[in-house]
């Protein structure tokens, strides 16, 4: 296993054998370590001193189920913090099979380039012909040129414009750009380096070495069965995808509606997972779909338009919420088109949905105006001044138009669970080193889904501890390449985490214990937080916007944590 380092200023490519502590790190643990060790916390995120790191997880490329997550790390231009954003798709597996533990992209190319990676190494190629192309077109032309089975990592126009909502797209098994390292504007970092695409061809790759294949296989098989047997991982997600959460959160009064004004949406039924399932079936799409080979949860789907033609895939709860109830929009086809725009232009759907709601707040369009919303994507596509404002996210648009009701933490939009009605996830939003991010410590599981026990979502009690434990566990899971959704099973089934540890030990000939997993999670959080401190962040940044002190219907709950209570999260 080795690390590739590509300097786009000097055009130098180096291959470094992995040694020391880095050997036992993968995914988020590796990207955050490299960023913390090598990037000046005070540098401009879009300047030449920032680095962009891609790292498959420790288990990626193996037969471990649902292990194909790719971590992408950098200093975020959206939040100014360290950032790890991870996604499924084909890339992590390809990296791993080529023996690549990480790809570190440094410097800035004066002209648009792409990286071609195969078993022989990395070449830097001119990409000027691809300037301005959307991700869908790139996913057509790049495989045509470089081989039909390549994984492609791309940025759309938003990344080229260096918009701080820009994502990095990764193709799925249908060779569509539907998986995104969405959060934190990492597409803008890639754009600032003038890197349009990374094409990965693992033909002839030696594959991932496993120290004890039999032992690994047994553990992987056992873990896979546990996932399939779990009601969320094995039934809920494969049937309805993540959109199953619309009705659940609406029922719980925690579905943020009309820019976090109320927790229930009159149009919830029309954007629900159950309703989408019906439409997909009628239009002969796919109700279940894996974002990468080897995933047993298959939470994705293929959503066709009314003519039965492919429209989008990877159409997730957060996206549906963001362009749906958050914007008071109940037109699911319009929401799917917004998702398609984001996938194509290369934009984070959560950030863009919240940005649209703030545009409604500003009076640029009205709440509920689906056509108006889709029109605004044309502005982004064309890089007009209004498009630039929109593409830089909710906080930015709020400042441009003097709007103060802007739901962000550390500049990043708060996702699809109201922090007042689901207090555990509110604690995560406030305190994670990532800026508001539900995936950093998904307390929704225990607050709402009653996975891993139950803690009353409306009450403060126990939420800091819950979020702390989940943040630690998540930082570890994000390092394995396993999809975060395996956590539902891990939280409920005491045999699941030992099976993960067993896979790691069998693959790497290690003697890890459960305690080591916790220590890894703590190490990751500590590393990230230290970076942020050096970048000037303090506990004062671990706070929600003041409007969350308003009462939130239907439960009449308020955000009532003191700063001191939140600061306890990192006191372990």
**Residue 26: what are its φ and ψ, rounded to 5°?**
-150, 175
Q: Residues 261, 270, 388, 522: which binds its own copies (CB under 8 A)?
A: 388
HSE (side-chain half, CA atoms, 13 Å) at 401: 23
Q: How far apart are CA 91 and CA 106, in angstroms?
A: 19
Among 545, 557, 559, 561, the residue binding its own copies under the rule CB under 8 A is 545
Among residues 175, 223, 315, 396, the one that binds its own copies under rule CB under 8 A: 396
CB of 339 to its own copies, least distance (A): 24
Within 45-74, the residues that bind its own copies by CB under 8 A are: 46-47, 49
CB–CB of 152/280 below 8 Å? no
> What character string, x for contact with its own copies (CB under 8 A) and - otherwise, covers 225-264?
----------------------------------------
Residue 340 has, within 13 A of its CA and on its CB side, a CA count of 18
Beta partners for residue 552, in sequence order: 557
Kindly state whether residue 402 participates in binding its own copies, applying the rule CB under 8 A.
yes
Does residue 283 interact with its own copies by CB under 8 A? Answer: no
Interface residue with its own copies, options 188, 334, 416, 569 (CB under 8 A): 188
How far is Cα 232 from Cα 451, in angstroms, rounded to an integer? 9
| Nearest-approach distance from CB 252 to its own copies, in angstroms | 28
Find the shortest distance in angstroms from Cβ 399 to its own copies: 6
To its own copies, the closest distance from the beta carbon of 49 in angstroms equals 7
At its nearest, how many Å lie between its own copies and the CB of residue 376?
A: 11
Looking at beta carbons only, is 67 or 192 nearer to its own copies? Answer: 192
CB of 567 to its own copies, least distance (A): 13
Is the Cβ of residue 86 or residue 194 nearer to its own copies in the bound state? 194
Binding mask 520-539 for its own copies (x = CB under 8 A): --------------xxxxx-
The only residue of 392, 413, 479, 505 in contact with its own copies, by rule CB under 8 A: 392
How many residues bind its own copies, per CB under 8 A?
38
Rg (CA), the chain: 21
Identify which range of 61-69, 161-169, 240-248, 462-470 contacts its own copies by CB under 8 A: 161-169
Tokens 């701080």 -> residue: 164
Cα four-point dihedral sign 439, 443, 448, 451: positive
Q: Exactly one of 251, 269, 495, 546 binds its own copies (CB under 8 A); which one?
A: 546
Question: Is residue 560 a contact point for its own copies (CB under 8 A)?
Answer: no
The structure tokens listed for 118 are 């195969």
Contact 329, 323 (CB under 8 A): yes
Residue 554: asked if its preceding bond is cis (omega within 30°), the reply is yes
Q: Please identify, among the stretches 54-62, 116-124, 327-335, 397-405, the one whose residues bind its own copies according to the rule CB under 8 A.
A: 397-405
Q: Cα 347 vs. chain centroid, distance in angstroms?
A: 12
Q: Which is nearer to its own copies, 162 or 179 (CB)?
A: 162
What are the structure tokens assigned to 414, written together? 């708060």
Selected binder of its own copies within 399, 456, 509, 513 (CB under 8 A):
399
Position 163 contacts its own copies (CB under 8 A) = yes
Secondary structure letter of residue 257 according to DSSP? B
CA distance 41 to 534: 6
- Rounded to a whole number of angstroms, the minimum distance from the CB of residue 546 to its own copies is 6
Which of 4, 95, 161, 508 lies at the binding interface for its own copies (CB under 8 A)? Answer: 161
Contact call for residue 162 and its own copies (CB under 8 A): yes
Contacts of 450 (CB under 8 A, 6+ apart): none
Q: Which is nearer to its own copies, 281 or 382 (CB)?
A: 382
Please state, in angstroms and rounded to a whole number, the distance separating the CA atoms of residues 125 and 142. 12
Distance CA 541, CA 433 (A): 10
Contact between 530 and 522 under an 8 Å Cβ cutoff? The reply is: no
Q: Are 533 and 509 in contact (CB under 8 A)?
A: no
CA distance 154 to 177: 8
CA distance 34 to 396: 29
Q: Is 378 in the site for its own copies (CB under 8 A)?
A: no
- One of 12, 15, 44, 221 touching its own copies (CB under 8 A): 44
- By beta-carbon proximity to its own copies, the closer residue of 20 and 402 is 402
**Which of 112, 91, 113 lies closest to 102, judged by CA?**
91
Q: Report if residue 360 touches its own copies, rule: CB under 8 A.
A: no
Task: Identify each DSSP E strand in 131-227 by its residue range.
Answer: 151-154, 168-170, 179-181, 195-200
Footprint of its own copies (CB under 8 A):
40-44, 46-47, 49, 77, 161-164, 188, 191-192, 384-386, 388-389, 392, 396, 399-402, 404, 534-538, 540-541, 543, 545-546
């Amino acid at each position: 296993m080795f690390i590739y380092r590509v300097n786009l200023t000097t055009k130098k490519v180096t291959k470094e054998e992995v040694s020391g502590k880095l050997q036992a790190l993968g995914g988020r643990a590796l990207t955050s370590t490299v960023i913390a060790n090598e990037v000046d916390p005070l540098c401009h995120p879009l300047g030449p001193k920032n680095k962009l790191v891609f790292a498959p997880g420790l288990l990626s490329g193996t037969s471990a189920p649902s292990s194909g997550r790719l971590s992408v790390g950098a200093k975020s231009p959206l939040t100014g913090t360290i950032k790890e954003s991870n996604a499924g798709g084909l890339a992590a597996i390809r990296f791993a099979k080529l023996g690549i533990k990480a790809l570190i992209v440094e410097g800035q190319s004066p002209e648009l380039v792409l990286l071609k990676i195969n078993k022989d190494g990395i070449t830097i190629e001119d990409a000027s012909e691809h300037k301005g192309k959307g991700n869908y077109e790139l996913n057509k032309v790049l495989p045509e040129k470089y081989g039909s089975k390549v994984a492609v990592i791309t940025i759309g126009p938003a990344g080229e414009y260096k918009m701080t909502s820009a994502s990095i797209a990764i193709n799925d098994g249908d060779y569509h750009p539907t998986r995104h390292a969405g959060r934190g504007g990492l597409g803008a970092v890639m754009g600032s380096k003038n890197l349009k695409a990374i094409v990965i061809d693992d033909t002839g790759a030696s594959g991932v070495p496993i120290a004890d294949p039999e032992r690994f296989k047994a553990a992987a098989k056992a873990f896979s069965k546990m996932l399939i047997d779990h009601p969320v991982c094995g039934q809920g997600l494969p049937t309805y995808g993540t959109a199953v959460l619309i009705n659940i959160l609406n029922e719980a009064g925690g579905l943020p509606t009309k820019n976090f004004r109320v927790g229930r949406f009159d149009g919830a039924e029309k954007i629900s997972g159950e309703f989408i399932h019906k439409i997909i079936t009628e239009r002969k799409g796919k109700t279940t779909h894996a974002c990468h080979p080897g995933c047993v949860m298959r939470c994705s789907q293929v959503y066709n338009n009314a003519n039965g033609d492919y429209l989008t895939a990877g159409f997730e709860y957060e996206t549906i919420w963001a362009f749906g109830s958050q914007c008071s929009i109940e037109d699911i086809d319009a929401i799917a088109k917004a998702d398609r725009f984001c996938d194509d232009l290369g934009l984070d759907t959560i950030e863009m949905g919240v940005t649209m709601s703030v545009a409604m707040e500003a009076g640029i369009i009205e709440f509920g105006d689906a056509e108006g919303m889709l029109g605004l994507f044309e502005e982004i596509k064309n890089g007009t001044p209004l498009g630039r404002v929109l593409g830089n996210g909710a906080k930015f648009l709020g400042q441009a138009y003097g709007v103060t009701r802007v739901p962000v933490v550390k500049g990043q939009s708060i996702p699809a669970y109201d922090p007042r009605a689901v207090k555990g996830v509110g604690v995560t939003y406030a305190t994670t080193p990532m800026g508001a991010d539900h995936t950093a410590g998904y307390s929704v599981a225990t607050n709402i889904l009653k996975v891993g026990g139950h803690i009353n979502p409306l009450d403060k009690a126990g939420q800091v501890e819950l979020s702390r434990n989940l943040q630690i566990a998540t930082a570890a899971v994000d390092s394995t390449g396993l999809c975060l959704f395996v956590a539902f099973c891990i939280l409920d089934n005491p045999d699941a985490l030992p099976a993960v540890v067993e896979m790691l030990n069998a693959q790497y000939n290690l003697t890890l214990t459960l305690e080591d997993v916790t220590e890894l999670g703590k190490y990751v959080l500590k590393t990230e937080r230290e970076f942020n401190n050096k970048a000037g962040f303090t506990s004062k940044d671990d706070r929600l916007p003041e409007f969350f002190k308003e009462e939130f219907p239907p439960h009449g709950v308020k955000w009532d944590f003191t700063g001191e209570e939140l600061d306890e999260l990192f006191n372990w």
